């Protein structure tokens, strides 16, 4: 029987590469597209060998595996193909495609503030090309959107029905509006062309393969702590975030792929922490000598961010399982070995 084929744009990025791993283990053929503007070949080098990877083991309805042990043993997938390409250019795939997952994006503040125009092009032209491929192949389509579509929210926690509080001309507007446009375009293709589309609004996610220079708070703090540099907290550190470990997110994405739901769904961990609490926890886990210093808040930095995941719980039977301390320990261990 033919293996189902998934095209993942941004597949060499942080979340995209973990998604490649999961889908290969689940028995899919994966075509990864990336231009390495923010992704890295290191995230997928373990997939470029020509050997078979065993299927996933499922217990109690949840995915259980040790991906790293499979990779170290050399059991990589012959069902993985990489294409180096900018998704703002026409995507030409000759074979049959069953799913198109559009995860190409400059998602960290460090990146989208440095490359605002490529960020906007990825969300507009890139989404258009990925949707065009899904239309041509009669494939299911998933857009990786973001909690940033809610901006600096006036409603807390944020349900999918909330329209957001976004500054379109602020410095963060290049990312926020690229994703809001991408959502609008995705729904237009769903309504006009009857494509089976899905929009996943991803809240703060962390884990192995994040870049030390990512610009997001978890890798920033871990890098600073491991190098005995001062941990930089903006404002008083009272702003809140909710942190989801990457394995939990991938489980939610995988379930969303296989459901019949077309409206947006939040995926994230609803447990809320202040930035100062996170800084103190990381200093504790790393046993660093680093001090915490305070700097002014960046422009348009959200004061609160917490997902309402009621829809994911009800429709996907999903909720995160990994507590922040456990996830941070795994992430710190990866940073020490990378």
The CATH number of whichever domain residue 28 belongs to comes to 3.40.50.720
| Nearest Cα to Cα of residue 228 among 281, 295, 292 | 292
DSSP H helical ranges for 73-149:
109-114, 116-121, 127-137
Q: What was the pLDDT predicted at 77?
A: 57
The answer to whether residue 25 is domain-embedded is: yes
The answer to whether residue 181 is domain-embedded is: yes
Separation of alpha carbons 56 and 76, rounded Å: 13
Is residue 58 within 8 A of residue 108, CB to CB? The reply is no
At 96 the three-state DSSP class reads: coil
At 212 the three-state DSSP class reads: coil
Read off φ and ψ for residue 199, nearest 5 degrees.
-125, 115
For residues 99-117, one letter each, b for 16 or more C-beta atoms within 10 angstroms of the residue's C-beta and e for the rest, the string is: bbbbbbbbbbbbbbbebbe
Which residue of the set 175, 189, 206, 245 is catalytic? 175
Q: What was the pLDDT predicted at 2?
A: 83
Separation of alpha carbons 137 and 91, rounded Å: 12
The answer to whether residue 251 is domain-embedded is: yes
Q: What was the pLDDT predicted at 49?
A: 63
| Nearest Cα to Cα of residue 148 among 103, 104, 114, 178 | 178
**Tens of pLDDT along the chain (338 residues)?**
789 999 999 999 999 999 999 999 999 999 999 999 999 999 999 898 643 444 443 333 333 344 444 444 444 457 999 999 999 999 999 999 999 999 999 998 889 999 999 999 999 999 999 999 999 999 999 999 999 999 989 999 999 999 999 999 999 999 999 999 999 999 999 999 999 999 999 999 999 999 988 888 999 999 999 999 999 999 999 998 999 999 999 999 999 999 999 999 999 999 999 999 999 999 999 999 999 999 998 776 778 889 999 999 999 999 999 999 999 999 999 999 87
Separation of alpha carbons 294 and 149, rounded Å: 27
Separation of alpha carbons 206 and 245, rounded Å: 5
Q: What was the pLDDT predicted at 66?
A: 45
Whether 175 is a known active-site residue: answer: yes
Q: What domain count does the chain have? A: 1
Pairing mode, strands 80-84 and 99-102: unpaired
The answer to whether residue 301 is domain-embedded is: no
At 41 the three-state DSSP class reads: helix
Q: What was the pLDDT predicted at 1?
A: 77
Q: What was the pLDDT predicted at 72?
A: 43
Q: What was the pLDDT predicted at 52?
A: 40
pTM given for the model: 0.90
The answer to whether residue 137 is domain-embedded is: yes
Separation of alpha carbons 32 and 139, rounded Å: 16
The answer to whether residue 288 is domain-embedded is: no
Residues 6+ apart with CB under 8 A from 101: 6, 7, 8, 9, 19, 141, 142, 144, 257
Q: Cα–Cα distances in Å, from 136 out to 125, 177, 262? A: 16, 26, 19
Pairing mode, strands 57-59 and 62-64: antiparallel
Q: Tell me which residue range forms the domain holding 85.
A: 5-209+244-270+306-322
The answer to whether residue 72 is domain-embedded is: yes
Q: What was the pLDDT predicted at 205?
A: 97
> Is the bond into 157 cis (omega within 30 degrees of 0)?
yes
């Amino acid at each position: 029987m033919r293996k189902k084929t998934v095209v993942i744009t941004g597949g060499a990025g942080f979340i995209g590469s973990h998604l490649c791993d999961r889908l290969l283990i689940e028995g899919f053929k994966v075509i990864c597209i990336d231009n390495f503007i923010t992704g890295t070949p290191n995230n997928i080098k373990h997939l470029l060998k020509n050997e078979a990877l065993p299927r996933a083991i499922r217990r109690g309805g949840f995915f259980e595996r040790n991906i790293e042990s499979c990779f170290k043993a050399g059991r990589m997938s012959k069902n993985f193909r990489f294409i180096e390409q900018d998704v703002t250019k026409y995507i030409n795939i000759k074979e049959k495609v069953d799913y198109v997952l559009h995860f190409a994006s400059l998602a960290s503040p460090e990146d989208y503030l440095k490359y605002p125009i490529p960020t906007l092009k990825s969300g507009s032209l890139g989404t258009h090309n990925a949707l065009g491929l899904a239309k041509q192949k009669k494939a299911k389509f998933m857009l990786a959107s973001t909690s940033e579509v809610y901006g600096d929210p006036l409603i807390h926690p944020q349900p999918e029905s909330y329209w957001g509080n976004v500054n379109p001309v602020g410095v963060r507007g290049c990312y926020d509006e690229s994703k809001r446009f991408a959502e609008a375009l995705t729904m237009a293709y769903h309504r006009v062309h009857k494509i089976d589309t899905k929009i996943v609004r991803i809240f703060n996610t962390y884990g192995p393969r994040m870049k030390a220079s990512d610009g997001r708070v978890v890798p920033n703090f871990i890098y600073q702590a491991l190098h005995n540099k001062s941990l930089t907290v903006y404002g008083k550190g009272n702003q809140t975030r909710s942190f989801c470990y990457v394995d939990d997110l991938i489980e939610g994405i995988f379930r969303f792929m296989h459901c019949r739901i077309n409206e947006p769904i939040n995926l994230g961990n609803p447990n809320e922490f202040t930035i100062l609490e996170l800084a103190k926890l990381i200093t504790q886990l790393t046993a660093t000598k680093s001090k915490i210093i305070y700097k002014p808040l960046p422009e348009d930095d959200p004061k609160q961010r917490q997902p309402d995941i009621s829809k994911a719980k009800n429709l996907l039977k999903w909720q995160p399982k990994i507590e922040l301390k456990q996830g941070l320990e795994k992430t710190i261990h990866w940073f020490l070995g990378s």
